[in-house]
Amino acid sequence: MKPKILVSRKISDEYDGLISTSFDKLDKNFFDSLNGKLKIIGHVGVGYDNIHTQSAKEKNIKVSNTPNVLNDAVAEITILLILASSRRIGEAYNLVKSNAWRDHRPDITKLMVGNEITGKTLGIIGMGRIGQIVADRARAFKMKIVYYNRNKLANDLEKGATYYPDLKSMLPNCDYVSLHTPATSETKNIINSESLKLFPKHSVFINTSRGSTVDDDALIEALQNKKIYGAGLDVFNNEPNLDKRYLELENCFVLPHVGSATHETRLAMSMLAVNNIKCFFSQKPLLSEVV
């Protein structure tokens, strides 16, 4: 019998396969409620912390994700956030949209004056594939690259970047800090009150990885009290119900988790999820298996 695949946020016990997104909360209760028919979940996304993988494993349900096909798109959004937060693009856009621009005296020393990124130091936390592409893009702005990673990269992958085996020693040297780690127990709240104390006051924090890597209270407090210059965020805890305080901060540029939102990338992600399911029912190895 041909397997039936459901592409939806909801599942019924009539289906053999499910395609999920990050907005689908497949927790332990979800898995406990299944009748045993579901055999595979093709998740559209790299991160899968919305899926209780231990429960999936216990139920003998395969889970796949869609790594690598979104690397360039996420790197592009990272550079966008660096530029937007540095040049106060959110404030500038609102100034024009509200028609308040005409009411401002054209003081060239103050009006929407931001920071250049050319020649500044970018610290990358997590120098995997996306981190490396971000570094390549940043080099076009003559930025100096430093990075913290579990392991030092080979020289041909470093491309002149400076490795720090300790995050605490890297942060004080950064004008910009960009986070590119998966959501794990080790990376949960890696940006917290203690690490933020090490950021220079003029620095900018960028996050296009996962919301769980940031202690919201600590970051918001740092932004409110100008302990850092700004932040550019595409991911949040408890998406899409982000902490509303972020929306009140002029020095925080926010996006609705659109790092992979290009026609080319979303198509590639969707097709990889579908092909993982096709491989499963063809009794072939999955292209990107999680559990």
Residues forming the active site: 210, 239, 257
How far apart are the C-alpha atoms of 258 and 83, rounded to whole Å?
Answer: 16
Residue spans of beta strands (DSSP E) within 59-212: 62-64, 121-125, 144-148, 162-164, 176-179, 204-207
Sequential DSSP letters for 140-178: TTT-EEEEE-SSPPPHHHHTTPEEES-HHHHGGG-SEEE
CB crowding 61-99: b at 16 or more within 10 Å, else e: bbbbbbbebbbbbbbbbbbbbbbbbbbbbbeeeebeeee
**Backbone φ and ψ of 192, nearest 5°:** -140, -175
Handedness of CA 127, 219, 187, 260 (dihedral sign): negative
Question: In the structure encoding, which two tokens stand for residue 111, read together?
Answer: 């009006």
How far apart are the C-alpha atoms of 255 and 206, rounded to whole Å?
Answer: 11
Q: Name residue, tokens 């119900």.
A: 241
Provide the terminal-to-terminal Cα distance of the chain, rounded to the nearest Å: 25
Handedness of CA 128, 26, 43, 289 (dihedral sign): positive
Question: In the structure encoding, which two tokens stand for residue 62, read together?
Answer: 């395969």
β-bridge partners, 178: 124, 206
